[in-house]
Each structure stands twice: as C-alpha cells, then as structure tokens.
Structure 1
C-alpha cells in the first residue's frame, strides 16, 4: 500500500470510526451509571435517522432544523424509555434489565416496520454535504470531514458536562452508589434521565451522519451498527467516555484496513470488528482505557 492509499484509508477510517464513537458514548455512559447494556441504543440511532428523514422528505423542513428537532425528540425517546421500561426495574436483577433492553429493541424495530415499512428509503442528503474535494490525490466529502470534527466537539462537551458542572458531578457520584446519592438529597431518577437524554441525542447525531454517508433508512439499520458501537465501547473500555471514542476509531479503522489490504475478504469486514474485540478481551478484559470500575468511572 502506497502512502496516498494509506492516507485515503485514514480519512475513511476517521469518518466511519467517528460514527461508531458517537453511538458508543451512549452505551458507555448508561453502563457507567446503571451497569446496564442498553441494547436498544442502536435503535435510538435508527429513530433519529428516521425522524430526520420524515422532517426533510415529508414536512419539507430545512436540513439543520430537521436535524436539531430529530436530536431533541430522540433525547425525549431515551428519557421515556428509561421512565417506562427501566425505572420500575431499578431494584430488579441485572438480567431483568438486560431482557427489557432487548425487548425495547425489538419493539422499536417492529413498530417502525409496521408504520414506515421495511423497504429501505433513500435519505435526502443536502447537496453541500455531497461536495467532493481532492487534496493532493486524497478524496473526501464534506460529510466525511464534518463527522470527526463534530465527534471531537461533542466529546469535549460531554467531558465538560461530566467534570465541570454540578450535573456531571451528580452523574459521577451516581455511578458509585445510587442509594447514597438519594440520601444526599439528589434526585437520582432525574440524573439518570439526563444520562439517557445525552446518550440518545448522541446516538441520533451518529444515525443522521450514518444516513448522510450511506443514504438509506430502514427499521433494522441500527442492529449491526449498534452492535459494532457496543464492541467499540468495550474495546475502548466500557465506562470510559474517551475510551468509547478511541474504540470507535479503532473499530472503524479495522473495517477500512481489512477491505484495503484484503479485498477478497471485504464480505467479512463486519466479522473482523468482533474478532478484534475478542483479542482485546483476551489480553485486556477491561478494554484499552478501561479502569477498575470500583475505583473510577468515566
């Protein structure tokens, strides 16, 4: 592989990895607080993409306003999911929460299949997002550059919330002991709702960028993407926000590099992400940036 090809794959890997990272942050934040793998998280990404599609194609809203509205509604969907499905099970065994998360995932997929149909629909990508640039032989689009930038900006925003605000302090305290936080006069359920809102909003942003780069929306689109984002969170160190972003970049690069070096194995590129996950778990079970979650979180 020559230098030009390598640089091209770097651009592609950053773009793909950024989308995984946005979704992985939500996984890791919910796990850090509730010790819950929210398997419905990938479907929240699908909800955000479908809402953007509906607002643009059906209601003819401007792209920026449609995206903002989709992100806000997705955050509300995350809050409702917690209030309706997870809040009644706060004291239940972890397996009950896990089964509930899988049930919510199936519910969202089938609900959108019934009401929107299972046929993939083309996403109306704005023309300025499709602009192609050629810099010294490296080809990239506006969207492929925007995704890593937006990801890093949102990462900094999340870290600011976690470490520089009272709500962030409450989130970190909650991740250690919910009962003690309640005794200190903090509304734990309100803080958990904030965590779900933040995670769901990021998933929606990731979903919208996904359909901009791969312009097709359908109810099952969040399944595989969600699983790979979960793999990214585990690879980076589940419970670590920066680890989730790092894991997203790693999984994205793994997919891109496999296709670049081994074109004959392009059909198996999805499997390589999980093979990489297995190797990381074998040698560092807590993930690359994982910490002892009894001592530190986020």
Structure 2
C-alpha cells in the first residue's frame, strides 16, 4: 500500500499545488470580505466563474480577429488577466453597492440570503448569455500552454514515478504566488491596506479617525473580486472546460479553505487553500487504496468537507485564527 502511494506522490503533490493555488486565491476574497463586514460573500464563487467566462470570451474574440497569432501567448494572457481583473473588480464593487450596502445594518441572516440570491442570479445570467451566443452553456476554454514538462522524481528516490506538469500549471502557480505576495504587501505595507485593517478592527472608530469606510469596503470588494476573476481565467486555461456552475462547488471549497486557515486571516486563507488542494488530490489518488476499494476518487469532495467539519469541531477559529474571548 505504501509503495503504491509513494509511486504517485510526486504527481499528487504537483496537481494538488496547482489546485490549491486556485483555492487559495479564491479563499482570499472570502476572508477579506469577512474580515471587514463579517459577511460570507457566497456570490464570490460566481465572480470567479464570471471571470472564467469573460477571459474565455476575450480569448475567443482575439483568436477570431487574428490577434492571438500576432502576439506571444504569455503577453496575451497578461492582457486578458488585467482586463478581466478590472471588469470583475467593478462587478464586485457593484454587487456590494447594490446588494450589500443597503443591508449593512440588517441581521446577518438577511445579507447571507442576499449573497446566495446574487450567486444564483449570476449563474443564470451567465448561462443565458452563453446559450444566446454559443447555443450551449458548456464552453471550451483557450488551448494555451499545453506543453508537458517531465519532473524527474525517480532520480531523487527510486520509489517515486516521474510526474508530468503542463506549462499552464507552472504559469498558474507562479501567477498565484505573485498575486498572494502582492496582496500581502498591499494589506501590510500600504496606506489603503492600513485603512482596511483599521476598518476590520473597529469600523466605527476608524470612521471617527477620518477613514472613509464605504471607500475601504468598496476597495476590498474590488481587490477580492479582481483576484477571483483573474483566477477564473487561469482556471479556464488550465482545465479547458467551463460552465456556469463551476463557481458553486469550487466556491464552497475555497470557503472551506478560508475556514481551515482561519477566516479573516489573509495568510491563513493562502495556507488553507494550498493545504486543501493537496489533501483533495491525495484523496482522489489514494482513497481507493486506503479503503481497499470501498471508496473511490469520486469521494474527494466528501473528504474536503469532512475536513471542514473536523476543523469546526476541534479548532473552530482555524489553524491561523485566534480564539476571541467575549468580555461580559
């Protein structure tokens, strides 16, 4: 059993790191909004999905116009990432302004239901547009960076098998690392980041200290949604096929990653996303071996949510979170 697991371990680690990078970036959107508003923005998964569709539409338009053949693929990807980030960032700000701001003083259950309603609205809107334009809501993404890179793991340890890695996986991981470091720098080293931390700490006191709370909240939604949209583009490039429902289950898993790392903690969300991706790919590859064939790889989603339940039972504040003591 152990030998079989070790055979596939290099491939599992690489695939898990790729998937975990996606979870980590999407989890950042959940944790940023929760840190400031204590709101679980369940529409964030759909913003990720919308980014995937916007990026794919731009790629297809550029291909039809012959632009893709006239410029390097990497430059085209950067251009699409920037445009999609801006569009999804503005979408996130619009959702906050229309759906969440009027309910800011309402009970949290109402804003939670509103977030779920917005997610369904985005799903159906994207499905309607996709079917109107293409006749089908399942869209094939751009075929870019499909070259396979062989990782010679067997030379390090004879029990390991060599692993295959697509060029798009490398680009996704590198881009995710850049975005995570950039966000960490922005939050901890800039004036706006300090304002965001102040609003997260105490919204009323920050307002008294001349911090424009509404602008800070709008900026938080813009940054989180921009990162989610860019990750949607990378997802479409990496996995090839997208549909209006990819954001639902992936959003739930990203939320699980945020809770695992410590909801409201930026670095915790990053760590939780990567850890969840690794655990999920390990389960997909080895559940059948570990259970003697009783459970297959299709139970990886159950495995992911079982982790969430265990974390909520034994460490509800998450790995990097801190338990809050209420003073009476």
Superposed CA deviations along residues 84-142 of structure 1, whole A, max 9, x for unmatched, are 1111112111112111111110110111112212531100122xx11101121221111
Q: Which runs of 4+ in 1 moved over 4 A?
A: none
Q: Deviations over 1:115-173 (max 9, x none)?
A: 212531100122xx111011212211112222222222212111111111111111011
TM-score, normalised via structure 2 length: 0.85
Quick one: distance in 2 between partners of 1:218 and 1:293?
Answer: 40
DSSP 3-state at the match of 1:186: coil
Give the distance between the partners of 2:111 and 2:89, measured in 1 at CA.
20
Q: Could you state the TM-score of these two structures normalised by the residue count of structure 1? A: 0.94
Does residue 50 (structure 1) correspond to residue 75 (structure 2)? The answer is no
* Cα offset, 1:294, TM superposition: 7.5
- State the SS of the aligned residue for 1:290: coil
User: Equivalent of 1:103, from 114, 117, 122?
Assistant: 117
Correspondence list, 1:94-243, <5 A? 94-117=108-131, 119-126=137-144, 129-136=145-152, 137-243=162-268
Question: Secondary structure at the residue paired with 2:119?
Answer: helix
SS at structure 2 position matched to 1:279: helix
Residues 43 and 119 of structure 2 are in contact (CA less than 8 Å); yes or no, is this contact kept in structure 1?
yes
Structure 2 contact 5–286 (Cα < 8 Å) conserved: no
How far off its partner does 1:293 sit? Answer: 5.6
Cα distance in 2 for partners of 1:291, 1:158 equals 21
Task: Output the CA distance in 1 between the equivalents of 2:296 and 2:125.
Answer: 35
The structural deviation recorded for 1:186 is 1.4
Aligned-residue CA RMSD in angstroms? 1.6
Q: Deviations over 1:20-57 (max 9, x none)?
A: 00100010000000000000000000110110111111
Contact 2:32 2:220 in 1 (8 A): yes
Please list, as runs of the form range in 1=range in 2, the aligned pairs for 1:70-109 lying within 5 A after superposition. Answer: 70-109=84-123
Matched, 1:67 2:98: no
| Worse-superposed segment, 4-13 or 17-26 | 4-13
**Bigger Rg, structure 1 or 2:** 2
Aligned residues: 293
**Residue equivalent to 2:9:** 6
Instruction: Say if 2:43 and 2:116, in contact at 8 Å, map to a contact too.
Output: yes
User: Could you say which residue in structure 1 is the equivalent of 2:303?
Assistant: 272
Unaligned stretches of 5+ in structure 2? 68-75, 153-161, 289-294
Mapped contact 1:25–1:199 kept (Cα < 8 A):
yes
Q: Is it true that 1:20 corresponds to 2:36 in the alignment?
A: no
Q: Report the Cα distance in structure 2 between the residues aligned to 1:160 and 1:253, rounded to whole angstroms.
A: 25
